[in-house]
């Protein structure tokens, strides 16, 4: 991409910014919009940014412009133009955070103009345009016009002086040595060759500082802080309803749950951008945002981000969503609130202010509902990360060391809050109460969707919200690729469009791929390398997915249900005539999408990765069975989880033989996996990604495997389960409700569905007795202290007022003998 094209792209982003013309905003907001565009985080729709809706065409286009800025050398030889501009903004925000108003305004103006000058210098150099040309290029003028306008009162103070462009001609090297002039002066008496050399070195350092220091991360007193949701997959399994008769409406709950976490992450991201700077973010994706924070601001930012979990949908003054989520979903939230109020889920206890209108909800109702929603979100942590945290490896040699490691672990927390009332107690979905076929068919009405129907009081505000925003996003997504690639004679008003296949995919070994191996660089370069790796992966990942879906999903035939970082759930829809029985798909659009995606991700980034590293994914694919087998979305979702697990094990098994570096942790240990060689058909031709679909064969005896609905897994028709104690076959024991070994009677802990948690009230830290109790109840192997530590770290704390309840999740499911 040429310099002209980059400037035109930035101009278009700022010109098309929703919610008000950019030139009419305040000086600080104009600069923020410019920096957000540079970073790849602009608004692409009302209060919607690229990671809020990553498969929108404008989202990928915005990321592409930012990625091209990242391809250009910046103020320093070791970094990019994108990084340099983000660093300059970050420096301004940190350095001026305590400045008086007039001084801050002056510092803002200088920072903004320096950013523009560096941008113009590098894009001119890219196009071979002299830096000493004293007039603006058309593309430069266009960008300045969209940011500031052409009024004389704006041009004078806001447009940069092109006479300063030549200062940015060369990229600077690393920070030169800074001599201690006071010490050297005392030692030399300020005379002689040593003094002169020190003076020359000091001049070089000052010149470097004055020109390039403000574009660098060097000498910033910052530490990394993480905003992170934990155990998201377990949470999704818990909150997404599984009752019969829900049919296709399950996808609304699933989309809504995924979107709820994305909205919360978006709120955290926006607060970081406004309060510290978007350039502070070093890692972004999958419900986790890591950012640089000034040491004296860490506590304040942790409190602000914790508040954001309750305020990310709020419109209350001074407690509103900074990301504007309440504006993005204004109509949907209004319909949701009306339904909640109509069924009596309103706050009438301990009101601070009397209700003005007895027939209308108010902010106190919203606050109570948002508190209930917060209590239903996954566990969260906002820890300060120690330097070198990526390399930490825990290898305890005693149970006492296990206790110490667990107490040193930054425990995720789930804030339950003191809800004034709890509609969850009677909720159909919180309590997994059976629903009738009639209720399943009228679910839209029971929810009060789009302000219509007869809302049912047996649905809590949380599950009602999942349904409402899930429906909202489903409708929006369906408009992204409206024109089909070819005519479908079944596309009629009375036709149906059922889900005919679901794919669940996960990026392989991303934590290992993006671990920094070369620690010789200065800290500022290591932080910048991390930031660039994260951003460039995000661009390549979403660009590749969008490109593949655009190719095969036109006419709303392929859609994304979950887009949580590298965890993605895709679905295929097919037209079905009214009264027609589904027999099978006419086109394998989802398989074609995955094949293109596998090729796209390897082409774009693998050459930039360390030797032996590459991008790939493992995917499970569940295909709808013919009519009459009762195969609805819920059944497909259950099968696709197990198929994806098989795909992961098959990928890791092959990696252990051909790409060992891809499954080797920084500590030198290999990742755990269950050996499963699979079949040649698993592998996507010409790539190192795989997808596993039915029918699948047993890895041990090669017989076919059938889906066991009772246990939610594929079971071999001949050899069944294998005992992990003695290796004998296992039979299903009706009395005990689990697989039991034929010989030794060992229960198979791997059949845990997620309910077998270890819980203790009044938690006040780990002790030897508590660890031993957890080992016994969870059935952990007492001789494997590393595994015990890993399994027990899968815990969180439920905070309810002053009480603290420990919850340890069951060990991750493992299968033997497959």
Tens of pLDDT, residues 734-745 = 333 344 444 444
Beta strand 721-722 with 738-741: parallel, antiparallel or unpaired?
Answer: unpaired
So what's the pLDDT on residue 718? Answer: 65
Higher pLDDT, 783 or 751: 783
Q: Are 349 and 441 in contact (CB under 8 A)?
A: no
State pTM to two decimals.
Answer: 0.86
Phi/psi of residue 7, each to 5°?
-65, -40
662 Cβ partners below 8 Å, 6+ apart?
Answer: 508, 509, 512, 513, 612, 613, 614, 655
Beta strand 690-693 with 617-623: parallel, antiparallel or unpaired?
Answer: parallel
716: β partners = 705
So what's the pLDDT on residue 421? Answer: 59
| pLDDT, tens digit (0-9, with 9 covering 90-100), for 482-515 | 888 888 888 888 888 899 999 999 999 988 888 8
Nearest Cα residue to 499 out of 336, 255, 751, 763: 255
The two tokens of residue 775 are 């080992």
Give the three-state DSSP class for 502.
Answer: strand
Separation of alpha carbons 33 and 147, rounded Å: 8
Calculate mean pLDDT across residues 522-550: 92
Separation of alpha carbons 794 and 812, rounded Å: 9
671 Cβ partners below 8 Å, 6+ apart?
Answer: 509, 512, 652, 663, 664, 665
pLDDT above 90 for 608 = no
Percent of the chain with pLDDT over 70: 90
Calculate mean pLDDT across residues 681-698: 88
Higher pLDDT, 23 or 611: 23
pLDDT above 70 for 816 = no
Separation of alpha carbons 50 and 41, rounded Å: 6
Higher pLDDT, 706 or 471: 471
783 Cβ partners below 8 Å, 6+ apart?
Answer: none
Q: Other CB atoms closer than 10 Å to residue 756's CB: what's the count?
A: 15
Tallying the residues shown for the chain, one arrives at 818
Assign 214 a pLDDT band (cuts: 50, 70, 90): confident
225: β partners = 291, 384
The least confident of 185-189, 448-452, 545-549, 641-645 is 185-189
Calculate mean pLDDT across residues 685-710: 77
Phi/psi of residue 631, each to 5°?
-95, 100
Residue 797's H or E segment, with its range, is strand 795-800
| pLDDT, tens digit (0-9, with 9 covering 90-100), for 725-734 | 344 444 434 3
Separation of alpha carbons 117 and 109, rounded Å: 12
The one-character DSSP state at 754 is S
Assign 701 a pLDDT band (cuts: 50, 70, 90): low
């Amino acid at each position: 991409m040429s310099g002209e094209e980059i400037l035109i792209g930035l101009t278009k982003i700022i010109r098309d910014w929703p919610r008000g013309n950019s030139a009419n905003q305040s000086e600080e907001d104009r600069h923020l919009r410019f920096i957000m565009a540079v970073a790849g985080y602009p608004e692409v729709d009302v209060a919607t940014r690229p990671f809020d809706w990553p498969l929108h065409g404008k989202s990928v286009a915005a990321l592409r412009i930012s990625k091209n800025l990242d391809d250009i050398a910046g103020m320093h030889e070791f970094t990019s133009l994108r990084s340099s501009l983000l660093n300059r903004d970050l420096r301004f925000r940190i350095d001026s955070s305590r400045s008086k108003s007039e001084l801050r305004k002056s510092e803002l103006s200088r920072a903004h103009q320096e950013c523009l000058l560096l941008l113009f210098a590098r894009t001119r150099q890219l196009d071979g345009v002299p830096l000493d040309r004293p007039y603006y290029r058309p593309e430069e003028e266009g960008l300045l016009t969209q940011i500031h306008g052409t009024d004389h009162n704006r041009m004078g103070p806001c447009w940069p002086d092109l006479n300063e462009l030549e200062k940015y001609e060369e990229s600077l090297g690393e920070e030169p040595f800074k001599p201690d002039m006071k010490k050297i002066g005392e030692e030399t008496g300020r005379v002689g060759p040593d003094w002169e050399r020190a003076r020359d070195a000091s001049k070089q350092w000052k010149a470097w500082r004055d020109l390039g220091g403000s574009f660098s991360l060097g000498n910033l007193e910052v530490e990394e802080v993480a905003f992170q949701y934990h155990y998201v997959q377990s949470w999704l399994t818990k909150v997404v309803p599984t009752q019969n008769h829900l049919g296709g409406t399950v996808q609304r709950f699933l989309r809504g749950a995924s979107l709820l976490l994305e909205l919360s992450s978006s709120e955290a991201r926006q607060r970081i951008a406004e309060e510290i700077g978007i350039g502070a973010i070093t890692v972004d994706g999958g419900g986790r945002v890591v950012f640089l924070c000034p040491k004296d601001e860490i506590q304040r930012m942790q409190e602000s981000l914790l508040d954001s979990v309750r305020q990310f949908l709020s419109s209350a003054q001074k407690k509103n969503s900074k990301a504007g989520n309440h504006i993005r979903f204004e109509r949907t939230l209004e319909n949701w609130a009306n339904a909640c109020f109509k069924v009596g889920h309103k706050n009438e206890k301990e009101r601070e202010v009397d209700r003005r209108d007895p027939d209308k909800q108010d902010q106190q109702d919203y606050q109570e509902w948002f508190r209930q929603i917060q209590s239903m979100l996954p566990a969260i942590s906002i820890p300060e990360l120690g330097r070198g945290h990526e390399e930490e490896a825990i290898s305890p040699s005693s149970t006492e060391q296990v206790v110490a490691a667990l107490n040193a672990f930054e425990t995720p927390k789930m804030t339950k809050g003191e809800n004034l009332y709890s509609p969850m107690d009677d909720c159909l979905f919180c309590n997994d109460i059976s629903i009738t076929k009639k209720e399943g068919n009228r679910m839209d009405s029971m929810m009060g969707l789009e302000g219509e129907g007869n809302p049912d009081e047996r649905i809590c505000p949380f599950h009602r919200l999942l349904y409402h925003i899930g429906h909202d996003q489903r409708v929006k997504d369906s408009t992204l690729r409206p024109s089909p690639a070819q005519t479908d004679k079944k596309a009629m008003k009375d036709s149906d469009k059922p889900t005919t296949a679901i794919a669940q995919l996960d990026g392989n070994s991303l934590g290992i791929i993006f671990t920094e191996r070369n620690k010789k660089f200065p800290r500022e370069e290591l932080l910048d390398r991390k930031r660039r790796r994260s951003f460039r992966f995000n661009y390549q990942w979403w660009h590749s997915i969008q490109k593949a879906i655009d190719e095969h999903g036109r006419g709303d035939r392929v859609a994304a249900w979950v887009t949580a970082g590298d965890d993605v759930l895709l679905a295929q829809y097919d037209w079905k005539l009214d009264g027609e029985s589904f027999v099978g798909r006419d086109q394998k659009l989802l398989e074609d999408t995955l094949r293109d995606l596998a090729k796209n991700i390897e082409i774009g980034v693998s050459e930039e990765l360390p030797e032996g590293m590459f991008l790939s994914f493992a995917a499970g694919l569940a295909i709808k069975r013919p009519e009459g087998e009762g195969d609805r979305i819920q059944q497909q979702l259950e099968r696709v989880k197990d198929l994806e697990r098989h795909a992961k094990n098959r990928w890791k098994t092959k990696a252990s033989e051909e790409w060992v570096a891809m499954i080797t942790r920084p500590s030198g240990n290999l990742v755990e996996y269950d050996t499963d060689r699979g079949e040649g058909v698993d592998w996507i031709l010409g790539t190192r990604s795989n997808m596993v679909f039915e029918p699948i064969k047993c890895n041990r005896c090669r017989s076919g495997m059938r889906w066991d609905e009772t246990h939610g897994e594929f079971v071999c028709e001949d050899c069944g389960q294998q005992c992990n104690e003695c290796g004998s076959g296992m039979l299903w024991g009706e009395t005990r409700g689990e697989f039991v070994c034929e010989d030794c009677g060992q229960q198979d802990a791997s059949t845990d569905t997620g309910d077998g948690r270890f819980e203790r009230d009044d938690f006040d830290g780990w002790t030897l007795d508590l660890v031993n109790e957890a080992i016994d109840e969870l059935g952990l192997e007492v001789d494997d202290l590393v595994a015990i530590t890993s399994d027990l770290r899968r815990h969180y704390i439920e905070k309810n007022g002053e009480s603290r309840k420990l919850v340890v999740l069951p060990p991750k499911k493992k299968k033997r003998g497959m």
